[in-house]
Structure 1
């Protein structure tokens, strides 16, 4: 059975910015209780008192105090170099039986050129290729028999080398995404390997995104 406390928890967990504000004690409980009165009343299907909502807000405990996590702070202090690559294009193709053959042609062409940025992601129905724009003609030629769904140019990638064991650290990616969201930075694409994390943004956002990530380390 739902209670005011469980409703409050459900709303906060679904709202990262709200949870952040509460953890930093920068939100007025009275004003928030008033704002939550209507949605909580609908969830419980009965009127609720704002005083009861305020009490639930004051008693709310975050499942994990991410900002105070020793392992999280240590991980950010051990982040490796941040690398920026610009002049990238993102191609989206519909998956097909011949797509891998087209993909192999590109790999064969660029295998000896380590200056070219290249990332390939295959989903259930479509695949993405992020590559240096200088190779645009090669992509169009190799994939000329494939169904192209989309193309986005003027992109930049920011890559971060993560410390070993990062997959065991709760909240690592959350902190990165939260910082970018607070800075109003839209991510076009995210690519990761075991120890490397790359975000792709439009060119006009790259300086802002780089600064936001750099502040996580400083």
Structure 2
């Protein structure tokens, strides 16, 4: 049976910004109760009072797994180097039978130059390449017979080196995404390996994004 408290919990859990605001104690309970009155009334199929909603908000406690919470804190404090690479370009191509052949041409060309940033991701219908902008012409030539879905210049990548065992910790990526979203930072691409996590943002957001990532260690 649904109650006001269960409705409040359902709404908060499905709204990361709202949950974050409550945890920071920067949301006015009275104003929020008025805002939630209609959806909660609809969920319960009867009118409810703002005071009852406000009481449920004050009593709400975030689900807390102390063991996992401590592991998250330990992991963030153990984050490795944070590397920033700028002057990047992004290309998305439609998958085809010849795409890998085109891809191999690029690998052959850049294999001897460790200074070139390169990331390749193959999805079900399309593939993505992030590469140093100095290699744009090489991409154009190698993929000239492929279908280009989209491209973007003036990008930067921030790579974070994660400690071993990070894949066993629930909510690790969620915490990173949540903090970036709270600062209104749009992610253009995300690339990850077992112990390395890279976000790609437009150049005008890189300083702000770097500050957020750096504060994860605090």
TM-score, with length taken from structure 1? 0.93
State the Cα distance separating 1:37 from its structure 2 match.
0.1
The match for 1:154 is 154
Task: Quote the Cα distance in structure 2 between the aligned partners of 1:200 and 1:120.
Answer: 13
State the Cα distance separating 1:60 from its structure 2 match.
2.1
TM-score, with length taken from structure 2? 0.93
Task: Quote the Cα distance in structure 2 between the aligned partners of 1:205 and 1:174.
Answer: 20
1:23 equivalenced with 2:33 (yes/no): no
Determine helix, strand or coil for the equivalent of 1:217.
coil
Task: Quote the Cα distance in structure 1 between the aligned partners of 2:101 and 2:4.
Answer: 57
Superposed CA deviations along residues 105-147 of structure 1, whole A, max 9, x for unmatched, are: 1111111111111111111211110000111111111111110
The match for 2:184 is 184
Superposed CA deviations along residues 16-51 of structure 1, whole A, max 9, x for unmatched, are: 111112223332222211110011112222211222
Task: Quote the Cα distance in structure 1 between the aligned partners of 2:148 and 2:32.
Answer: 47
Task: Quote the Cα distance in structure 2 between the aligned partners of 1:41 and 1:77.
Answer: 43
Determine helix, strand or coil for the equivalent of 2:146.
coil
The match for 2:102 is 102
Task: Quote the Cα distance in structure 2 between the aligned partners of 1:43 and 1:98.
Answer: 53
Task: Quote the Cα distance in structure 1 between the aligned partners of 2:87 and 2:98.
Answer: 28
State the Cα distance separating 1:80 from its structure 2 match.
0.5
> What is the correspondence of 1:52-201 to structure 2 with a 5 Å cutoff?
52-64=52-64, 69-201=69-201
State the Cα distance separating 1:65 from its structure 2 match.
6.1
Q: Which runs of 5+ in 1 are unaligned?
A: none
The match for 2:33 is 33
Superposed CA deviations along residues 168-195 of structure 1, whole A, max 9, x for unmatched, are: 1222212211221122111111100000
CA RMSD of aligned residues (A): 1.6
Determine helix, strand or coil for the equivalent of 1:85.
strand
The match for 1:203 is 203
State the Cα distance separating 1:61 from its structure 2 match.
2.4
Superposed CA deviations along residues 52-104 of structure 1, whole A, max 9, x for unmatched, are: 222322332212368x9211111111100000000000001011111111111
The match for 2:215 is 215
108-117 or 150-159, larger mean C-alpha shift: 108-117
Q: Which runs of 5+ in 2 are unaligned?
A: none
166-175 or 132-141, larger mean C-alpha shift: 166-175
* Residue correspondences, number: 217
Task: Quote the Cα distance in structure 1 between the aligned partners of 2:157 and 2:185.
Answer: 13
